[in-house]
Amino acid sequence: MRLILGIETSCDETAAAVYDSKNQKILSNVLHSQIKLHEKYGGVVPEIASRSHLARIKSIVEQALEEAALSFDAIDTIAVTTKPGLAGSLLVGLSYAKGLAWAGNKKLVGIDHLEGHLFSSMLQADGTKRDEHSFPYLALSMSGGHTSLYLVYSNQKYEIIGQTIDDAGGEAFDKVARMLGLPYPGGPHIEKKAEKINFQDFFKYPRVRLKNAKLNFSFSGLKTAVLYDLMKRGWYDLKKNRPTSNLTEENVQQVASSLLVCIADIVINHIKDALVLYPEIKGVTFIGGVACNKYIKGRIEQYTKARKLFTISPIPSFCVDNAAMIAYAASLSQTQSKESDWYLDIF
């Protein structure tokens, strides 16, 4: 089980990678983003996503093998994302992986997309495996589709101790960005606008903390609070579903900055609460697409450093949806003899 071909098609990235489990190194990591296809819609359109995967997956897999300087015959195992994600997108990747595995008589392993993100922090910038973190540690996984807190006891044992009950953190960025007339995905554009005014908090948006589910997140109320505030100030027209001409560039920067500071505060508050409930935590990993956000990452590092805890976040190419994390997660799965069978499906 030395050479693992990973395939990831859970949403709007078509990705393939090769991991050498003997030498513990990513040999290739290829990704095709569909952002330009979905940008004008302000979000991912499932039908467009699945059709793009169909058009790209063969060439992406071939490129991953080429960059790894390997033939398909050299591959021992095929690892593919089976959940969670868009059904059509997942089905494209799974169907292709099954076909390859059957034709080449390869082992087939199904991987949970969120588990891939969870252990992406074990991959260093050069693709080699990082020395294992001190256990237990807290993992914050945050993207446009999910926001979760994990308590990780080992590479084989972890539990979810908090998750969003509605919108994900990245989704809040996307929706507010759309209110401001900014492109999709919203997170990078929100951060750029906020940076121009030095990440100040102008509007004091609510830092939601759920009373009966302390470590769970909620971003729906924050998104609604921003919407109502924009309408009150005459900066957003709900009937036309777009910003008004009264919204200036300075206003956009102020809203973006206030939102970013607010979400960072929410994240830090949840980390604080987790440390109270689980004082044995040795450090924090920040993973998922939102982990590309330098401001939030910096705030987390500042807090954990003061508490003498380690902080680790992957490089951006391992934060976004990618196949390297899927291939690596499969190597962990194989050590547990959890090989999947031909009944593998997207549930």
Whether residue 273 is contained in a domain is answered as yes
Whether residue 341 is contained in a domain is answered as no
Identify which of 298, 183, 273, 172 has the alpha carbon closest to the alpha carbon of residue 223.
172
Whether residue 130 is contained in a domain is answered as no
Indicate the pTM of the whole model.
0.92
Same structural domain, 90 and 151: no
Same structural domain, 93 and 193: no
Same structural domain, 283 and 331: no
Which residues in the chain belong to E strands, given as ranges? 3-8, 13-20, 25-33, 77-83, 107-112, 137-142, 147-152, 158-163, 236-237, 242-243, 283-287, 310-312
Structural domain of residue 37, as residue ranges? 3-123+319-335
Same structural domain, 165 and 88: no
Same structural domain, 149 and 117: no
What does the pLDDT profile of the chain (347 residues) look like in tens digits? 699 999 999 999 999 999 999 999 999 999 999 999 998 888 899 999 999 999 999 999 999 999 999 999 999 999 999 999 999 999 999 999 999 999 999 999 999 999 999 999 999 999 999 987 899 999 999 998 899 999 999 988 999 999 999 999 999 999 999 999 999 999 999 999 999 999 999 999 999 888 766 799 999 999 999 999 999 999 999 999 999 999 999 999 999 999 999 999 999 999 999 999 999 999 999 999 999 999 999 999 999 999 999 999 999 999 999 999 999 999 997 655 445 555 567 65
Q: What CATH number did the domain enclosing 238 receive? A: 3.30.420.40
44-320-291-171 Cα dihedral, nearest 10 degrees: 10
Answer left, alpha or beta for residue 337, where phi above 0 means left and psi between -120 and 50 means alpha. left
Count of structural domains within the chain = 2
Whether residue 342 is contained in a domain is answered as no
Same structural domain, 166 and 187: yes
User: Are residues 219 and 164 in contact, defined by beta-carbon separation less than 8 angstroms?
Assistant: yes
Whether residue 132 is contained in a domain is answered as no
Same structural domain, 21 and 98: yes
